[in-house]
A = this chain, B = another copy of it.
Amino acid sequence: MAKQKQDEGQAPKLTINDIARMAGVSKKTVSRVINRSPLLNQETRDKVEAIIRETGYVPNPQARALALGRNFLIGLVYDNPNVQMILSMQKGILEALHGTEFELVIRPVDRGSNLVMDDIKSFVTRQRLFGVVILPPMSENDALARMLDEEGCRYVRMGSAVLDDPEHMVASNDREAVADAVRHLIAQGHRRIGLIAGPHGFRSAQERREGFELALTEAGISLPRSLIADGQYTFESGLSASESLLDLSPRPTAIFASNDEMAAGVLYAARLRGIAVPEELSIIGFDDTPVTTRVWPPLTTVRWPIVAMGRAAALKLIGTAIGEGSEVNEPSMFSSTLIRRGSVAPPATS
């Protein structure tokens, strides 16, 4: 009559009671050892720790979570087409979580659906997550932030601009980064510069567009509406958006695409038309994804510190739980750098 717990002859899990019995102390004392309580005799501590090490005892996290009233799960909520970014972000968060008792639970959501809110709500309430990191564009949703506040769930938003209290936000300065990139084009002599913008409603798209316009304005260059094309941050949208730009006469001598995928689309379109890059057309992208070095010529782009930002976001979340008294001092604003590769050259002398 095997007990249902050990149906497959697995080693029965040790409990705190087993350890207490073996050490000849109360379970509370074992609990104190586990939690590094300072008010404990060193001798007792050593004895219990030895037994824990020998037996390989691991406290049951569910019981711990129940008693503590909180668990050690961090959620990552995203709805984003950018695969590279998601994985880099995961990497950064996991780096911060490494060595702590926190684990990362991931949850992609469907922006299209009008159930997103309910979906996320059930995600955080059902698992009673310690906190969540929200990736753009979901992170720009203020209603979501309010809901999380109501639910008492900590959160950190990732974004392209500081939207609220820095305590809840980690952002890159996309506007300035793009302005720098466009200044680079202008310094090379470009005057007719096209923009492939990101999707409407995306904060990052807006910031990058503003950076683009900022650099042109500074240089006293006017920007006809025809030099702006709308994209969706996808390769295909970049490809088709660049058509209208490349049809222009005179043609722009340079194009800034609001992300690398679209920049790759521009490059592809140029090749289809036999336009030489960078001789006849300079291209700059944004994100510094691997594709920029796979294509020919390799794309000049803007690199933002995704991994570092992920790490910062996670530290902000768990910092309050770990740091004893010390204020969490992770930066909230990160800056990006222009990576010069082979897709920019001075314009052909016309």
Contact = CB atoms under 8 A, between A and B. Distances in A.
Nearest to A87: B83
Contacts of A103: 105, 107, 123, 127
Contact of A294 (B13, B105, B122, B264): B264
A128 B293 contact: no
Nearest to A153: B10
B122 A58 contact: yes
Query: How often does this chain occur in the complex, in copies?
Result: 2
A268 interface: yes
Which of A58, A61, A235 has the most chain B CB within a 10 Å cutoff? Answer: A61
Interface string A282-296: 000000001101111
Interface in A69-125: 69, 71, 73, 83-84, 86-87, 90-91, 94, 101, 103-108, 122-123, 125
Given A293-B235, A294-B291, A66 B69 contact: no
Contacts of A101: 126
Contact of A106 (B11, B104, B152, B291): B104
A62 interface: yes
Main secondary structure of the interface of A (DSSP, over half): helix
B126 A10 contact: no
Contacts of A58: 122, 125-126
A172 B65 CA distance: 39
B291 A291 contact: yes
A63 interface: yes
A271 interface: yes
A146 interface: no
B61 A127 contact: yes
Nearest to A97: B107
Nearest to A103: B105
A285 B87 CA distance: 23
15 contacts: A8-B152, A11-B151, A58-B125, A60-B128, A61-B127, A61-B128, A62-B62, A62-B66, A86-B87, A94-B106, A101-B126, A103-B123, A104-B106, A235-B294, A295-B295
